Amino acid sequence: MKFKKFRALLVVMASLVLTACGEVVDEESITAVGSSALQPLVEAAGEQYSAENLGKFINVQGGGSGTGLSQIAAGAVDIGNSDIFAEESDGIDASKLVDHRVAVVGITPIVTPGTGVTNVTLEELQGIFTGEITNWKELGGKDLPITVLNRSSGSGTRATFEKWVLEEGMKSVVSQEQESSGTVRQIVANTPGTISYVAFSYVNDDVETLSINGIEPTNENVNSNDWIIWSYEHMYTNGEPTGLTKDFMDYMLSDEIQDNLIGALGYIPIKNMEVERDAEGNTSPVENPE
């Protein structure tokens, strides 16, 4: 099957070369820009989509949630990817944008192995990130200073983490910042006593996750909203999508992607969620959880 497709592709390519200008397939492409957390998923889905629909291309670029939102609001791209609601972002007219929630990501605190702490209360976590708690000893761990590592201000992961961990009026301690989750994980893995946070998909054996109030960071706990630090992955379109953009959005929400690709890449499918959240952070149970 695969081979056949490949041959078909070769034939198409050869005929393109031979006929020079004569178009064999209608070539069409759309561009999706934004969130680096969502980028791997859209890229993988885009490739799969192009393989199934010859001549349709999905260009996926990173750049950050802010870029995604401002580019889609300006109409410069077809899809704007974002970790946060457009309503939460200053300077974006959210009324024209149509929200497509394609997945959910859970975010968990990670620490360097060997701190002696595996469970914290939400208050203790607040204390760490506001700079009140500065040694693991205070939490019953080793006598080791706590180094806080944040993502850069404005990153979607940081916005989500601070929204659900810190309370109104709390200020995060001025700390080290890193631009990407991959770098964060590497630094946490190598620097004793460091704490940071990443999406579930970035957790590996080099770092330890922390439970909060005894609740472990698992997909099931996100589904039931017991683990509250999670966010939707949004794909915004400017107005209702049409043409290829609509096709691709339908494809993203199709069972093929939701059941296979999303789980495989470490995201959580939307339809597993037992609760729903709006831009203000109010949660309500989903009518018919599957």
Partner 1 sequence: MEETQSKFMQKSSKRKIEQFGRTISFICIAFIVLIVLSILYFVISKGVSTFTTDGVSVIDFLFGDIWRPGEVGENGEPLVGALPMILGSFFVTLLSALLATPFSIAAAIYMVEISPKAGKKILQPVIELLVGIPSVVYGFIGLTVVVPFIRSIFGGTGFGILSATIVLFVMILPTVTSMAVDALKSVPRHYREASLAMGGTRWQTIYKVVLRAATPGLLTAVVFGMARAFGEALAVQMVIGNAAMVPTDLITPASTLTSILTMSMGNTVMGTLENNVLWSLATILLVMALFFNILTRWIGKKGAMK
**Which residue ranges make up the site for partner 1 (CB under 8 A)?**
36, 62-67, 69-70, 74, 89-92, 147, 152-156, 171, 174-179, 183, 186-187, 190-191, 194
Name the minimum Å distance from CB 204 to partner 1. Answer: 17
Beta bridge partners of 218: none
Token pair recorded at residue 149: 């590592």
In the complex, minimum distance from the CB of residue 125 to partner 1, in angstroms, rounded to a whole number: 20
Q: Which is nearer to partner 1, 15 or 135 (CB)?
A: 135
Q: Which residues, in sequence order, are CB contacts of 137 under 8 Å at separation 6+? A: 143, 144
| Nearest residue (CB) to partner 1, 163 versus 271 | 163
Q: Cβ closer to partner 1: 98 or 144?
A: 144
CB 104 within 8 A of CB 273: yes
Output the smallest distance, CB 187 to partner 1, in A: 8
Tell me whether residue 5 or residue 171 sits nearer to partner 1 (CB atom): 171
Nearer to partner 1, 108 or 194 (CB): 194
Give the nearest distance from C-beta 48 to partner 1 in angstroms.
Answer: 26
Q: How far is the CB of 206 from partner 1 (least distance, A)?
A: 13
Cα 15 from Cα 35, distance rounded (Å): 37
- Rounded to a whole number of angstroms, the minimum distance from the CB of residue 196 to partner 1 is 12
Sign for the CA dihedral angle at 58, 64, 65, 66 comes to: negative
186/225 with CB nearer partner 1? 186
Contacts of 206 (CB under 8 A, 6+ apart): 113, 185, 186, 188, 189
Looking at 26-96, which runs of residues are DSSP E strands? 28-34, 56-63, 79-82
**Alpha-carbon distance values, 93 to 29, 32, 252 (Å):** 26, 19, 25
